[in-house]
Structure 1
Amino acid sequence: MVEWVRATFIEDDGKLFNPDHLHLQSASIGMLWTNVSNSRKGRRIVGQCEEGQPSGTMGKWGKARAEEQIVGWFGHVPDFILTFNADYALSCSDAEFCALVEHELYHAAQETDPFDAPKFRKSTGLPAFTLRGHDIEEFIGGCCHLVYGLRFAG
């Protein structure tokens, strides 16, 4: 699926190419399917974007276990991991699924400096990545929009 997402949304010649995602051309993206239901504040969650590097308050051993599992899945720790609900994907239209994918890609952001200029890693010259929250209730831009009534978590 990663190849389809890149070819469709990220590469310059993609059918749904969005220049807002140009920074992702050099990003490592891992994708997962789940059949586990998830909700927050009474709203169904059908997609999620996370940084690939485990974080949080799990302690050194917990982070090491999580990182080992991620490496087992993808062969390395990707910059971002996108997870999609398989049951939703089976039941939604192509346009709704594209809207979901594009929404999650908007969460996969490039860091900016205090002047809103994009940041790059000194060691590699590649973009410095971060997660982006919601603008308001939906992202503005691109060819697809949020499917109302569902929450795409970040």
Structure 2
Amino acid sequence: MSQIRPFPPTELIDRADEEEALRLAPAPDLKDWVIANYLTVEGELYNPDHDHIAEMLHDNEEFLSFAWASSAAVAKKRMVLGQCEKVMFNQGGWRKARQEQQMRDWYGFVPIYLITIDASFCEQATDRDFCALIEHELYHIGVERDDDGEPLYSDMTGLPKHYLAGHDVEEFVGVVKRWGASENVKRLVEVAKQAPFVSDVNISKCCGTCVIS
């Protein structure tokens, strides 16, 4: 498989440029690329934190799918470049059937989790920004753990238990300025002082293009 990062379909970008309504499309090539590079031990961007996702996909390809969106969304007055969601449908009438049909038309099944990425951002993003965005969304798929930090498994399926995870650290700058940093914020600061695990060289190998710093 080619290591060059996947780019969104040009027709989605063209529609965004023409200021048409937001369009979405399935991204199976992005899923394949993520599996090869983040979820495979030999991958250039492999991260053992996501082993629980790899374990689920090995047993059930319906666990996770990807989609492109023609442009960013806006939520709480912020631009949303990526979104991970646990797929749920509106009840009542034909709404649930219609939404399920869209998923089956796209993927052949209804995924459990869906990651949607802004195509217009990714078309011009640096390799580092692109890879960081993908990793951010993967981290939103959390696995339940016991007191020792080991994943919890379902008695029925024998597979890890998952949930939609929030951010490790979320705080206002003003609160930290006035009241000090919480333990989570302090931990993030300490991690930020260290050199990143993924180097520019690794990302360039994975994506096949030069990283613009």
Above 0.5 in TM-score? yes
1:59 aligns with 2:91: yes
Q: TM-score, normalised by structure 2?
A: 0.59
Superposition deviation, residue 123 in structure 1: 2.6
Q: Where do 5+ consecutive residues of structure 1 fail to align?
A: 145-154
Establish whether residue 41 from structure 1 lines up as the match of residue 76 from structure 2. yes
Instruction: Give the match for residue 149 of structure 1.
Output: none
Aligned residue type for 2:138: L
Correspondence list, 1:132-151, <5 A: 132-137=165-170, 143=197
1:5-154 aligned at under 5 Å gives the runs 5-25=34-54, 26-27=56-57, 28-52=63-87, 54-55=88-89, 58-60=90-92, 61-112=94-145, 117-137=150-170, 143=197
Q: CA deviation at 1:119?
A: 2.3
Question: Which runs of 5 or more residues in structure 2 are unaligned?
Answer: 1-29, 58-62, 172-187, 199-213
Q: Which amino acid aligns with 2:75?
A: R
Task: State the shift of 1:19 in Å.
Answer: 0.8
Structure 1 residue 79: Cα displacement: 2.4
Q: State, as a whole percentage, how many aligned pairs show the same letter.
A: 38
Structure having the higher Rg: 2
Cα distance 1:112–1:29, how it changes in 2: closer, same or farther (>3 A)?
A: same
- 2:66/2:116 contact within 8 Å kept: yes
TM-score (norm 1): 0.79
Deviation at residue 62 of structure 1 after TM alignment: 2.6
Letter in 1 for 2:151: P
